[in-house]
């Protein structure tokens, strides 16, 4: 697919996934967990795939995606990763972006989302300090 387009951007907007502790501190730990097929947040796996494909990865969700090991891996591969949270709600953002992309002549093949109070959302709602 990359051969048919000028640029590929992975725009991550999901906001529900497993919370991962401890953080992945280095690249060898990251690769080891992937090779052993250990449970990892989907955003980390998509980010690693984007890094390996040398495409831009924009994280628009409040995930714990950019672990130190992931950031180091991106630097080693000369890949660009950015973003931490659009703070506008994924439904609103996707509606606005869909209209913008279609208006720009870009055909969307899929828009997918889910939100079930996972990752930090659910964890934060369990904290007394958050109330």
Nearest residue to 58 (alpha-carbon basis) of 69, 38, 74, 39:
74
Cα distances (angstroms) measured from residue 30 to each of 1, 56, 59: 27, 19, 18
pLDDT digits (tens, 9 = 90+) for 47-74: 999 999 999 999 887 777 899 999 999 9
Cut 0.85: pTM above it? no
Range of the domain at 32: 2-130
pLDDT, mean over the chain:
81
pLDDT digits (tens, 9 = 90+) for 113-131: 665 555 566 666 566 655 4
Counting the structural domains of the chain, the total is 1
* Contact (CB, 8 A) for 16 and 118: yes
What is the C-alpha end-to-end distance of the chain, expressed in Å? Answer: 47
pLDDT of residue 124: 60
CATH number, domain containing residue 16: 3.40.50.720
Q: Please identify which residue in the block is written with the tokens 């913008």.
A: 100
* Contact (CB, 8 A) for 60 and 86: yes
* Contact (CB, 8 A) for 125 and 131: no
């Amino acid at each position: 697919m990359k051969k048919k387009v000028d640029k590929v951007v992975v725009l991550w907007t999901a906001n529900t996934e497993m919370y991962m502790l401890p953080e992945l501190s280095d690249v060898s730990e990251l690769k080891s967990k992937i090779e052993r097929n250990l449970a990892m947040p989907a955003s980390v796996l998509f980010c690693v795939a984007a890094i390996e494909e040398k495409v831009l990865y924009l994280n628009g969700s409040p995930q714990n995606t950019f672990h130190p090991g992931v950031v180091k891996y991106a630097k080693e591969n000369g890949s660009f990763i950015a973003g931490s949270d659009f703070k506008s709600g994924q439904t609103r953002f996707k509606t606005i972006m869909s209209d913008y992309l279609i208006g720009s002549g870009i055909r969307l093949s899929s828009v997918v989302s889910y939100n079930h109070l996972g990752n930090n959302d659910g964890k934060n709602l369990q904290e007394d300090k958050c109330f």
